[in-house]
């Protein structure tokens, strides 16, 4: 078939759609709704997946070592705690053991203290930690340096501050300035990059930015005056968690002399959530596909009705030389054009609705529609158009020109 003839058929198909605006729009509704739902649902799933990836990256391989007081123990456990809480010595024992498969061992202490500078004074969250804490919590330095081994060993009065503290207490120019914690002067050696968040995540971002970090031994010896810590570590491979955790448990048990602690991880919860998300993806995808199939059935019905309306036209074309293939192609192109127009309108509607929906649901990720989702929507619309136009096209191509011209 010549390209010029295909062009004529396409032009004629567009002309037919325009000539029957109401019928065409009613036919397109199913495709528009199907493609819109497909784009909106998959955009929401993509946004949820991106948010889940952020949390997975942060939590899936993290293990917290928690103190297990006697009242929390089961009847089978005979716990005789010699120490209250997880101790700094447990942290050192775990570090010295150098267990294969464990990295970023982090011990912290936290408290709220009165902070003062020439410009401001307030109660601020102070974190006693090492450099692993900054890495573990995804903090990045904007200015200055991290803690040195001497800062930790000699319990130096140095600190790293969050962006909110730098802004509120020093108007942004904080490096090498002195800030007072409970009336003790600490030199600022580093300023952290600002963590940004929008919507309901803005408060969480502000809370993270409003922090002051000192070396762990400085916190223990100069501020808090106790050696109990919050202890955690990360696994190189979450798949080997059982054997690595057993090795860690043996080290801590050897140091404490009793199993008055537990190892807690969110990996199982995250895996369950991922399974649930995959299941919802399948369900929502199936709903969208069903919507498109319903739209396709609508196109099929309209194209079958069109055969009767245009039976004389078909007979006339065949009588002057048009082949059955020409008629078949014409009906297929018209069905595909209808579906494609519906796909384009559905895509535009889907992009607008999904952008609004992602922003409204505040997933904490950038609101955008991925090109592959749009491409999938348009491809589905094309396939539905071809399949739904196939039977009417075959039926129209089999119309006898003699009977068609006699049809009243």
One DSSP character per residue, 119-161 reads S-EEEEEEEEE-HHHHHHTT--EEEE----HHHHHTT-SEEEE
Tell me the per-residue pLDDT of 351-377, one tens digit each, with 9 for 90 and over: 888 877 777 766 555 656 778 878 888
Are residues 166 and 67 located together in one domain of the fold?
yes
What is d(CA 35, CA 44) in angstroms, rounded to the nearest whole number?
A: 14
What is d(CA 46, CA 48) in angstroms, rounded to the nearest whole number?
A: 5
Are residues 170 and 249 located together in one domain of the fold?
yes
What is d(CA 85, CA 216) in angstroms, rounded to the nearest whole number?
A: 16
Most confident of 10-19, 84-93, 265-274, 349-358: 84-93
Residue 80 and residue 218 in contact, taking contact as beta carbons nearer than 8 Å: no
DSSP labels, 225-250: ---B-EEEEEES-GGGHHHHHHHHHH
Are residues 139 and 246 located together in one domain of the fold?
yes
Are residues 8 and 116 located together in one domain of the fold?
no
Count of domains forming the chain: 2
Which of 229, 248, 265 terminates a domain? The answer is: 265
N residues, the chain: 408
Are residues 154 and 234 located together in one domain of the fold?
yes
Confidence of residue 403 (pLDDT cuts 50, 70, 90): low
What is d(CA 323, CA 401) in angstroms, rounded to the nearest whole number?
A: 11
Q: Domain containing 394: what range?
A: 3-56+271-406
Are residues 109 and 163 located together in one domain of the fold?
yes
Are residues 288 and 140 located together in one domain of the fold?
no
Confidence of residue 179 (pLDDT cuts 50, 70, 90): very high
Are residues 182 and 211 located together in one domain of the fold?
yes
Are residues 34 and 68 located together in one domain of the fold?
no
Task: State the pTM of this model.
Answer: 0.63
Are residues 151 and 247 located together in one domain of the fold?
yes
Residue 351 and residue 293 in contact, taking contact as beta carbons nearer than 8 Å: no
Question: Which helix or strand (DSSP H or E) is residue 329 part of?
Answer: helix 324-361
Q: Which residues contact 92 (CB under 8 A, 6 or more apart)?
A: none
Which of 225, 240, 265 terminates a domain? The answer is: 265
How large is the average pLDDT for residues 210-226?
93
Which of 219, 242, 265 terminates a domain? The answer is: 265
Are residues 232 and 112 located together in one domain of the fold?
yes
Are residues 228 and 303 located together in one domain of the fold?
no
């Amino acid at each position: 078939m010549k390209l010029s003839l295909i062009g004529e058929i396409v032009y004629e198909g567009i002309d037919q759609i325009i000539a029957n605006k109401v019928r065409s729009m009613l036919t397109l509704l199913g495709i528009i709704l199907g493609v819109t739902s497909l784009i909106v649902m998959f955009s929401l799933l993509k946004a949820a997946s991106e948010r889940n990836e952020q949390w997975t990256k942060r939590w899936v391989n993290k293990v917290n070592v928690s103190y297990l007081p006697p009242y929390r123990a089961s009847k089978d456990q005979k716990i005789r705690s010699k120490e209250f809480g997880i101790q700094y010595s447990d942290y050192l024992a775990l570090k010295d053991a150098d267990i294969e498969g464990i990295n970023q061992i982090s011990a912290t202490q936290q408290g709220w203290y009165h902070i003062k500078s020439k410009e401001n004074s307030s109660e601020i969250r102070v974190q006693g930690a090492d450099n692993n804490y900054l890495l573990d919590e995804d903090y990045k330095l904007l200015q200055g340096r991290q803690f040195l081994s001497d800062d930790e060993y000699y319990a130096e009065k140095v600190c790293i501050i969050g962006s909110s503290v730098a802004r509120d207490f020093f108007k942004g120019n904080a490096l090498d300035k002195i800030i007072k914690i409970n009336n003790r002067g600490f030199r600022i050696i580093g300023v952290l990059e600002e963590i940004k968040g929008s919507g309901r995540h803005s408060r969480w971002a502000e809370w993270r930015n409003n922090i002051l970090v000192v070396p762990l031994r400085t916190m223990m010896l100069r501020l808090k005056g106790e050696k109990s810590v919050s202890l955690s570590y990360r696994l190189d491979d979450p798949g080997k968690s059982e054997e690595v955790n057993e090795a860690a448990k043996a080290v801590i048990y050897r140091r404490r002399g009793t199993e008055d602690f537990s190892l807690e991880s969110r990996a199982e919860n995250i895996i369950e959530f991922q399974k649930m998300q995959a299941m919802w993806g399948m369900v929502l995808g199936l709903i969208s596909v069903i919507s498109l199939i319903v739209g396709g059935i609508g196109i099929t019905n309209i194209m079958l009705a069109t055969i009767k309306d245009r039976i004389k036209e078909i007979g006339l074309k065949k009588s002057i030389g048009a082949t059955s293939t020409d008629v078949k192609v014409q009906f297929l192109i018209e069905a595909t054009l209808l579906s494609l127009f519906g796909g384009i309108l559905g895509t535009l509607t889907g992009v607008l609705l999904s952008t609004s929906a992602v922003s409204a649901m505040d997933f904490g990720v950038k609101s955008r529609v991925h090109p592959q989702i749009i491409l999938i929507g348009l491809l589905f619309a094309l396939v539905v158009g071809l399949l739904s136009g196939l039977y009417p096209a075959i039926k129209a191509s089999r119309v006898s020109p003699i009977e068609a011209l006699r049809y009243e």
